[in-house]
Amino acid sequence: MSAQHPVVFVTRRLPEAVEARLTRDYTPVLNADDTPFGSADLVERVVNAGAEAVLCCPTDKMTADVIAGMPNKVRALATFSVGYDHIDLEAAKAHDLIVTNTPDVLTDATADCAMLLILAAARRAWAAESMLRRGDWSNWAPTGQIGIQVTGKRLGIFGMGRIGQALAKRARGFDMEIHYSDLAQLPPELEAGATFHADPEDLLGVSDVLSLHCPLTDETRHFLDARRIALMIDGAIVVNTARGPIVDDEALIVALRTGKLAAAGLDVFDGEPKVNPGYLELENTTLFPHIGSATKETRDAMGFVALDNLDAVFGGRTPPNRVV
């Protein structure tokens, strides 16, 4: 990079170590109070900053209009996330913008979160803790707060990439039987004894617990709808740490309310940070505010990967995690 550090507009406050590296290697325009920007405000601030790159987050809707409003000197959008469905990739191409993401460093943290949600949903953790905090726990009862034991149950993983495989490794520690569906069967050394289902609908009928780890595409949007829920085992558990729109909220809420499904553990939501209020009325849900990657180690690593991408852009190299 040149002696004059490139100006990077940063849409949200980042971990301390990441901002320290930004300040060392770039001229960052930081968001000290961490207030999310609306579309018009975001464009205005990028223009006024004289930015040559934008380090954005999933909360920033980088629509065609936002991208069209950015000056030509903006060379890159580096998103602080693996997912990039908040960025209009066609508009980025048309504007000759490089788009990068931060894959591979979220695997363990997200798999931990998925396992936590499986256990919490199965054991009715939210309902039990809420009862205690309300002061409603009067005594121990043989029939009180009965949940589901995960030991020996069949875990269905829809999307057997890095995170799906990491979850399978954890679930084997609970003697769970692993089933999965993906676009292609894994080689035996990665499959590690798991059972492959070429048709994801076949996976639904064998899963005591279904954990979603597929990317959000046109094909997977509202994958888990009323028709497919009907194919599931009565009393099954659904966990989602992938993308909120993979689930049809209304269909899942009905299934949880009627007892078709026993419980759900959700870290992501369609339209987040808004959450369908139907979930909030249910005691058989465990709801997290998209914290799958929220460990210090992982968030630092995400920031460093985003900066590695920018280092490559301004160093005249191909970014290691270029999306467009």
Which of left, alpha, beta for 73 (phi over 0: left; psi -120 to 50: alpha)? alpha
Contact criterion met (CB below 8 Å) for 195 and 178? yes
Nearest to 266 by CA among 212, 320, 207, 208: 212
Question: Does the active-site annotation cover 290?
Answer: yes
Question: Does the active-site annotation cover 272?
Answer: yes
CA–CA distance, 279 with 274 (Å, rounded to integer): 11
CA torsion 84-86-92-94 (nearest 10°) is 120
Q: Which entry of 243, 250, 257, 322 is annotated as an active-site residue?
A: 243
User: What stretches of 149-276 adopt beta strand conformation (E)?
Assistant: 154-158, 177-181, 195-196, 209-212, 236-240, 261-266
Q: Which entry of 24, 272, 283, 322 is annotated as an active-site residue?
A: 272
User: What stretches of 138-203 adopt beta strand conformation (E)?
Assistant: 154-158, 177-181, 195-196
Start-to-end CA span in the chain (Å): 22
Question: Does the active-site annotation cover 243?
Answer: yes
Q: Which entry of 129, 290, 297, 317 is annotated as an active-site residue?
A: 290
Active site residues: 243, 272, 290
